[in-house]
Chain A
Amino acid sequence: MKRKLSAWSKTAIIIRREYLIRVRKKSFIVMTILGPLLIAALYSIPVLIATMSEGKRDIEIFDETGLYVDSFKSGSEFVYYPVSGNADTVKQQFLRSGRYALVYIPATQFNVPVTAIIYSQSQPSMNIKSEVKRVMGRVAEGMKLKAKGYDPEVINSIKTRIVINTVKVNEDGSEKKGNSEVATGLGLVAGLIIYFMLFMFGGQVMRSVIEEKTNRIVEVIVSSVRPVQLMFGKIIGVGLVSLTQVSLWVLLTLTLVTGVGLVMGEKVQKPSIEKSALANVGGGINNPAMDAAMANVSDEDTDAGKFELVMDGLKSIDYVTMLTAFIFFFIGGYILYSSLFAAVGGVVDSEQDTQQFILPVTLPLIIAFMSVGYIINYPDGGLSIWLSMIPLTSPVVMMMRLPFGVPMWQMIVSLVLLYGFTFFTTWLGAIIYRTGILIYGKKPSWKELWRWVRYKS
């Protein structure tokens, strides 16, 4: 008696092959590394731009009016050098000095001169223009106010910044600081990741089925295992690849973001420390008037404020629920779509033939994708709720709604519908797949597909 492997261990052999050939591919490794780098780049580029510049720039200030020159204070971005003399010689000297720009404020007969010319050997950057505008604007405003008899100090003190904190009230009455921008961002990212992964890995299942069919190896394999075993082995194998990829992405992204956060955090947190020191002097951190006043302390401070708000928002998200929901919705959606993709792969002979069948399969996903704007604006709107219940769109849409808070019953109904429908599509997919893989050379019509399903059931 020969030793034989059971049907289950044969499926395991298929899963192992499908998994290993993909994980070993260079493209998998590249994607794994590139993915988090892209995300980290997206995350950190604005911060980098905000905090870093191309080093200090030397700016000459030639103020014929003498009203502005003292208000240009050298800082982290610009170093100012007041110059004086005849306009022509100043320009000549500037050209020889090799400094970045020359700001020329010509004398006029107006009380408040409002014109400046920036000379530069290259096109001057936007931030020097806005910096000059800002400094001169402030001085000019002050002078105008003074002329009308107002004390600029008083005007400054009544400038008010409104701070809005969003608070999520749960059914049990507990409150949570929320941030709708963060919720929007997180929902978008989660929904889009599911959207792209369903396409990417569903497509991989389909291409793999087509490959086996065009290779003609499928007939050899189905003489050893049942077609359904091959199909599920493939779906599970590719699914494990996708979970591996996501886990690696999450891990690498967290590492990167934490790393970036540590570096960035040092730069942006300093002002907020000064702020809390100030607040303590003022007699309590939670003094709203104090908060408002502090918000206006300096312009650099707004960066820190935003950073804190984002951090608050990020902290307010229930990550355990998010992650659990992501895994359940992704697995359900993946099995649903990949079984349909497998069926499409089974009925065609080459990838070029897939168009006719692929569109109806992917249409619901595309609809979900196109509804993003509505869902983000009205996470509790009728369309959002419906789309997050319908199994073909729920994996993408529910993830977008989730950070805004979704009642538990809706989650459960949506999941039950999703998994129930997944059973149906795998059954349907398996019938079409196992009939299709043995037919070469002719593409069946929709009518024919319907006959297969009726005949087999």
Chain B
Amino acid sequence: MYFLEAKNIIKRYTGHTALNDVSIGVPQGTIFGLLGPNGAGKTTLIRILNQITGPDEGVVLFNGAPLHPHDVAEFGYLPEERGLYKKMKVGEQALYLAMLKGMPQKDAMAELKRWFIKFGIESWWNKKVEELSKGMQQKVQFIVTVVHNPSLLIFDEPFSGFDPINANLMKDEILELKRNGATIILSTHNMNSVEELCDNIALINRSQKILSGNVSDIRKSYSKQLFEIITNSGGLNDADLPEGFISENLVKEGIYDRITLSVRNDLEAPAVLRKLVLATDIFAFKEILPTMDEIFVDAVRNSNTQQ
């Protein structure tokens, strides 16, 4: 059973269909990447999951039961279009937003204090938001997203607007939330972070889901049978290559050659290595899997030409 499951979601707006029969399933305690080009329908799906808007058809199950308004207390949402009241004091504002999530004032106060201390920002409590830098505001925004200890978190482009140091801090926080048992949905264009963080993904293009599954499975399935070896300089000539092996690239690195090989037949990495060992001395060997970036571009391009 999925912790959060959207089944056959259809959402129409006047003039166009934003989501056309999209289904996703998020297992408990995992990080789920929601990917897709701009305008594909990600934000609409996220809004439906957050009960900001309702689907025309289809159903969202949370913990096996259809979503209920009181479930918002279990959800934490960091929207892509985010902001805070500029003129309001940081602490007062955080308290307000925490209480709107359903926390009683005392609990909210205690939790906020804990988070402010953890981020080392206690001194900001009485500052107005407009006095803070963009990065500082993002930290406050992150705290108000997680303060009510939600079991499901939805982050829409969480790293945009952060410098690399703070982006790393966010990454660590997200991983810690996962370790503490939270289930996380991550919508981002940053494919590096998808490879680093996500267990599963769904790729949406033009209102439809075109790819989904486990990240390493997907990368394997998109394998172009590319391998990289390091061998003695001049240790491997094209003539020595086994049947179906083609040298794509060769870089001389001192006494070594770094060679990229493509393999025609559907051999698995261990079998490829076994064949190469017979041909030459191997100092290093690795399979080059396509990056999520490449898969993203490939899948979107294919689905666009098919339509």
Contact = CB atoms under 8 A, between A and B. Distances in A.
Interface residues of A, number: 29
Main secondary structure on chain B at its contact with chain A? loop
B300 to A, nearest CB: 23
Identify whether the interface residues of A are mostly helix, strand, loop, or mixed.
helix
B236 interface: no
Nearest to A233: B100
A220 B14 contact: no
Interface stretch (B27-35, B82-90, B171-179, B192-200): B82-90
B102 A452 contact: no
A220 B85 contact: no
A223 B75 contact: yes
B79 A219 contact: yes
Interface stretch (B45-53, B162-170, B241-249): B45-53
B96 A452 contact: no
B130 to A, nearest CB: 10
A21 interface: yes
Interface string A304-334: 0000000000000000000000000000000
Interface stretch (B66-74, B203-211, B289-297): B66-74
Nearest to B96: A17
A21 B144 CA distance: 20
B84 A224 contact: no
A410 to B, nearest CB: 43
A13 B100 contact: yes
Most chain B Cβ neighbours within 10 Å, of A212, A216, A219 = A219
Interface in A110-165: none
A10 B98 CA distance: 11
B273 interface: no
B61 interface: no
A223 B50 contact: yes
B86 A5 contact: no
Nearest to B99: A13
Given A5-B104, A216-B81, A220-B77, A438 B72 contact: no
A219 B104 contact: no
A239 B86 CA distance: 23
Interface residues on B, range: 20 to 34
A3 interface: yes
Given A219-B52, A438-B53, A225 B100 contact: yes
B53 A217 contact: no
B191 interface: no
Contact of A10 (B82, B83, B88, B102): B102
A13 B103 CA distance: 11
B107 interface: yes
Nearest to A211: B85
A54 interface: no
Contacts of A212: 85
Query: Which of A17, A221, A224 has the most CB atoms of chain B within a 10 A radius of its CB?
Result: A224
Given A216-B79, A216-B82, A21 B96 contact: no
A21 B92 CA distance: 11
A221 B145 CA distance: 11
30 contacts: A2-B102, A3-B103, A4-B73, A5-B104, A13-B100, A21-B87, A21-B88, A211-B85, A212-B85, A215-B86, A216-B81, A216-B83, A217-B82, A217-B84, A217-B85, A219-B77, A220-B79, A220-B82, A220-B83, A220-B141, A222-B52, A223-B75, A223-B79, A224-B97, A225-B72, A438-B53, A440-B81, A448-B14, A451-B14, A452-B14
The 8 closest A-B pairs by CB, nearest first: A216-B83, A224-B100, A215-B83, A4-B102, A219-B79, A223-B77, A216-B81, A223-B50
